[in-house]
Amino acid sequence: MIPSTAELLDAAIGFARLGGAHTLRYFRTSLEVIRKSDRSPVTIADREAEWIIREAILARYSDHGIIGEEHGVVNPDARVQWVLDPIDGTVSFIHGIPLYTTLIGVLVDGAPIVGIIYAPALDELCDAAVGMGTRLNGAPVRVRATTDLADATFLTTDEGNIRKHGYEAPALALREACRIHRTWGDAYGHMMVATGRADVMFDPILNIWDAAALYPCVTEAGGTYMDVTGKPDIRSGNGISCAPGLRDAIRTTFS
């Protein structure tokens, strides 16, 4: 039997706080940085936090599946899948910047229904579930009502990655069309859109453990989450969060 959406949301909040609290044991300490095969950084904090979340999930829901950035897949055929990124924004974490987040998404039959974006160092937790809206530390939030790029704040994580993945021209056009451009990136940038503090966040490269939590948080706040082709897809490898009034202009920029 699949738990109710409300139960899954409540459990996800608890799991995110549990894993996020563990990351704080290592935040702004001397840490060994390990390079994965793709040269991206990882630390013992990433690996331990994910393991703690996994153990908590399986202790409560032994028949559920898990997809994690650091420790792979468990029960891949389960109807409920917990999608984990214990530290999104590892570069920020390593440098003592408090904009890193712990991400948990819940998929039921492949669809994202619950999302948690938790910034432990700031104690900001954004949670959402289908039909239940989006909250920041328990208070309902909405995306901005911006309809003109000239009034918009545009965020991204890393302009080097934009060039690497072939989006330099449209991203530059979008940046120049917007009023403000900043690199308050990774999942925190998407949370800023969902909570009405920015208007556009573009990630040229995303894995499912990045995107699964973002989709509910943005869309339940009244926003648009899409890939560069305009599809609401968490598996396409890139993602844009934005105020819905900007969707068409952004899509035209990337076409």
pLDDT tens per residue across span 17-73: 999 999 999 999 988 887 766 667 778 999 999 999 999 999 999 999 999 988 889
Query: Residue 138 in contact with residue 123, Cβ under 8 Å?
Result: no
Relative orientation angle of helices 247-254 and 168-177, to the nearest 10 degrees: 150
| Residue 36, pLDDT score | 66
Domain 5-132 has CATH 3.30.540.10: yes
Query: 208-219 and 186-194 helices cross at what angle (nearest 10)?
Result: 10
Instruction: Give the pLDDT score at 42.
Output: 77
Would you say 233 and 242 are in contact if contact means Cβ atoms under 8 Å apart?
no
Domain residue extents for the chain = 5-132, 149-254
What's the pLDDT at 38? 67
Tally helices (H) and strands (E) across the chain.
8, 15
Q: Which amino acid makes up residue 129?
A: A
Which residue blocks in the chain are alpha helix, DSSP H?
Answer: 5-24, 44-60, 90-94, 159-164, 168-177, 186-194, 208-219, 247-254
Q: What is the CATH number of domain 149-254?
A: 3.40.190.80
- Fold match flag (5-132 vs 149-254): no
Q: Identify the segments of the chain with pLDDT beneath 50.
A: none
Which value, in Å, is the radius of gyration of the alpha carbons in the chain? 17
Residue whose structure tokens are 């105020």: 243
Amino acid identity at 77: D
Question: Quick one: pLDDT at residue 128?
Answer: 98
